Structure 1
Amino acid sequence: MPIELKMPALSPTMEEGTLAKWLVKEGDTVAAGDLLAEIETDKATMEFEAVDEGTIAKIVVPEGTDRVKVGEVIAVIAGEGEDAGAAAEAPKAAKEPVAKEGGETGAGQPAKEDAAPAPKPEAKAAPQAAPKADTGDRVKASPLARRLAEQKGVDLSSLTGSGPGGRIVKADIDSATGAPKKAVAPEAAPVATPAAAAATADTEIPHEAVKLSNMRKTIARRLTESKQQIPHIYLTVDIQIDALLKLRGELNESLKSRGVKLSVNDMLIKALAISLIEVPACNVSFAGDQLLKYSRADVSVAVSIPNGLITPIIVGADTKSMSAIATEMKDLAGRAKEGKLQPHEYQGGTASISNMGMFGIKAFDAVINPPQAMIMAIGAGEKRPYVVNDSLQIATVMSATGSFDHRAIDGADGAKQMQAFKRLVENPLGMLA
């Protein structure tokens, strides 16, 4: 029996993706674990592996196709001993009854009696019902739908999802709670009509129109939501880092035999994690009528990649040694640039750090990455006149700016965390204890 290969959900938030590249062609024999395609999700380009063995009978969705829904058939595999040609016709045969409704084919010719048997439309409905049966203890719902259901006391298991693959979406929660349909209007209002009009008006200027990747679309959407919905408060401190640089040099000398090299950023990740534990009021997330308080500091680290930005996570950074953080960060950053991170390696985190010091940026205000409630922006370390022991001296100083979600974190608590972060960086030996 032909095996339908469907667009997979490669991340919890994925509802559609781009089939970037096929790594096989029709007629190829594949086994479980073989790489079939590269799929661009809302976060990264990931490889899709086969779980069945057989022959690629037909590629239904060509490479380069955008907005392929999760659950949509993208290829057909003929099983062992099965005729590949017959298997390739299976998807077409399944679609014909729909096209021939009313007694005609899509070309307007009379339908052949043996080409449109009555039971076929019911067979087509089977995949639609599958997601519902599959949910069981794990209900398929978008993150927004889960949050709204929690706020409004809606039992997700009692709903039938209208989204891709039976996923429960915001509209299903609104229907269940009797929310007025007009609630959609505010979301439709901020469409970037002025920007689009300006772009259209300037088309005489020499330019190149570059199609946005799924990652860039996601970055644009999430950062817009962050600035629109989260009241940011910014707190900046100047930090002397001479002691940190001295300790880094000594540690790197001792770690040379192990092939480990600490960066300043590795040490700042550790300092941020410890400061979150010391000031737990800042290690939180705002969740509607709830405040989520975390007992572990998972630090998301901004990494620039060709298609945009991704934030791999150092889990439990408060308890890891600096050498462990350096080793893990090197691996995560390398795989991030190759597009090979797994969803659990970049989704989550309790706070973020973004370092632009290597570009000579003195200071900047970073945008909070929801649902987190704070992000630390690191500027360049530079020689400045600085008061040391009541005398004016030249010291290496960097500026650090914390962006805090004012719904969840009061200014005084944010100030305490910035104070703790400054103390840890200026007295780095304490981070080794």
Structure 2
Amino acid sequence: MPQMGYDMREGTVVRWHKQEGETVDRGEVIADIETDKATVEFEAYTGGVMGRIVAEAGVAVPVGELIAIITEPGESVPELAAPPANPAAGPAPTPAPVAADPEPAAPASPSDGGVRASPIARRLARERDIDLALVAGTGPNGRITERDIENYQAPVDAPSPASAPVATAAVPADTRIDLSRMRQTIARVTSDSKSTAPHFYVTAEIDMGKAMSLRRDVNDASDPENRVSVNDLMVKACALALAGHPKFNSFFRGDHLEVHGAMNIGIAIALESGLILPGVNNCESKSLLQIAAATKDLIARANSGTLRNEEYSSTTFSISNMGMFDVESFTAIIYPPHAAILAVGSVRQQPVVRDGELAVGQTMKATLSTDHRVADGAEAAQFLMEIKRVLQNPVSLLL
């Protein structure tokens, strides 16, 4: 089971795209794996033959545990791998103890044996002791989804007439909202980040007049399906600035910094179930239009649950943009193990002074959250000023 993200502890194979005995090419999608945050396409690390599928669909498996074996053509499957579970063959031998046990499959029961439900819905139902037979499914053909479990309210028995209380002034009742697995993961990661990485913040106001004019000209001359957003401008500007400030494209590793050559910039995407941070990889070699196209594709696949492993697990710097919500400025929590994250507010019409004259301009506030173990205040300010310089002289965004 691959680790598809810093915070991933276990994953569930939703579907195998290859069956035992079929040929596998390096880089080919062989399975869809569900994490706490998203469903990700898993690509084969090597080519060969799918010798054995070990992990059953719908069963949670800890990171690092065996899920399948790919062999060379004609090679026998190693005996160390237990055969896949076969209910008709009776109970399997007790396996040797391992460091962490995978989540057991849900036992068949009269209450849910004939109920159609997704693997994550079944898992949530087990965790919350919900009888699937009582849940109304809203998925295809009445299939119960994760959202159905999240929205389920257990029926409350009405009190008997003899015990009914005398009518009094209505008092709003307290309610309980159980956290989804994604929300629990977000809570854990953000708490770990704030308690481990000493955050500090620097904010700059950026004159976006020229950048917005450039964006308008590019969009007027481009395919309507590939329009450039303000966030695309930010991704390209950060990629250019990171080239001269590589500390901010690194991970803190105790006694050294792991500095990355590739600039894989994560963008915060708000899904109905929570926040994820997949990335556009190799931004240093992409044009502004290529970044715009890649971002739109990334957002579409994040919403449809078809992200690829490298998009979900290889980001090196991140941007969180709340400008579309008319937020002027905010601070963001660093996504570990990143060194920094840039929080972007809305572009607003504001009074500005140019050449001693008052005018109406377009400005935006950006706040850089930095891990103090990686860089100091002066370095963070210089990096942010480089982003500002690029955006205020945006011709470099097209080079």
TM-score band (shorter)? 0.5 to 0.7
TM superposition score normalised by structure 2: 0.66
Selected match of 2:348 from 375, 382, 402: 382
> What corresponds to 1:242 in structure 2?
209
The CA deviation string for residues 388-417 of structure 1, in whole angstroms up to 9 with x for no partner, is 122221111110000011111111110101
SS in 1 for 2:206: strand
- For the pair 1:225 / 2:225, whether they are aligned, the reply is no
- For the pair 1:309 / 2:246, whether they are aligned, the reply is no
- Using the aligned pairs only, state the percent identity: 36
SS in 2 for 1:396: strand
Kept in 2: contact 1:277–1:296 (CA 8 A): no
> What corresponds to 1:162 in structure 2?
99
Residue 36 of structure 1, CA deviation: 11
Equivalent residues in 2 for 1:102-117, closer than 5 Å = none
Residue 228 of structure 1, CA deviation: 0.4
Selected match of 1:42 from 36, 44, 49: 36
The letter of the residue matching 2:268 is A
- For the pair 1:322 / 2:316, whether they are aligned, the reply is no
- For the pair 1:205 / 2:167, whether they are aligned, the reply is no
SS in 1 for 2:307: coil
The letter of the residue matching 1:93 is P
The CA deviation string for residues 268-306 of structure 1, in whole angstroms up to 9 with x for no partner, is 100011111122333322110111223332211111112
Residue 15 of structure 1, CA deviation: 4.0
Kept in 2: contact 1:9–1:15 (CA 8 A): no
CA-atom RMSD in angstroms: 3.6
> What corresponds to 1:88 in structure 2?
87
SS in 2 for 1:94: coil
The CA deviation string for residues 320-360 of structure 1, in whole angstroms up to 9 with x for no partner, is 11000011111111101111112211212221111000000
The CA deviation string for residues 70-124 of structure 1, in whole angstroms up to 9 with x for no partner, is 6599xxxxxxxxxxxx95333x3325xx6xxxxxxxxxxxxxxxxxxxxxxxxx4
Residue 374 of structure 1, CA deviation: 0.7
Q: Could you list the runs of 5+ residues in structure 1 that have no partner in the other structure?
A: 1-7, 74-85, 99-123, 129-160, 166-203
Q: Quickly say closer, same or farther: Cα 1:9–1:432, change in 2 above 3 A.
A: closer
Q: Quickly say closer, same or farther: Cα 1:89–1:52, change in 2 above 3 A.
A: farther
Residue 236 of structure 1, CA deviation: 0.4
In the aligned structure 1, how far is the partner of 2:270 from the partner of 2:86? 44
The CA deviation string for residues 199-233 of structure 1, in whole angstroms up to 9 with x for no partner, is xxxxx9342433422x3222211110110011111
In the aligned structure 2, how far is the partner of 1:22 from the partner of 1:276? 38
The CA deviation string for residues 135-184 of structure 1, in whole angstroms up to 9 with x for no partner, is xxxxxxxxxxxxxxxxxxxxxxxxxx73458xxxxxxxxxxxxxxxxxxx
In the aligned structure 2, how far is the partner of 1:328 from the partner of 1:264? 14
> What corresponds to 1:332 in structure 2?
298
Q: Give the number of the structure whose alpha-carbon radius of gyration is greater.
A: 1
The letter of the residue matching 2:10 is E
Q: How many residues align?
A: 301
The letter of the residue matching 1:210 is D
Selected match of 1:405 from 371, 375, 379: 371
Tell me which of the two structures has the higher relative contact order, counting C-alpha pairs closer than 8 angstroms and 6 or more residues apart: 2
Which one has a larger percent helix, Structure 1 or Structure 2? 1
In the aligned structure 2, how far is the partner of 1:46 from the partner of 1:283? 24
In the aligned structure 1, how far is the partner of 2:100 from the partner of 2:223? 53
> What corresponds to 1:153 in structure 2?
none
- For the pair 1:425 / 2:386, whether they are aligned, the reply is no
The letter of the residue matching 1:247 is L
Q: Could you list the runs of 5+ residues in structure 2 that have no partner in the other structure?
A: 44-48, 68-84, 103-171
> What corresponds to 1:11 in structure 2?
4
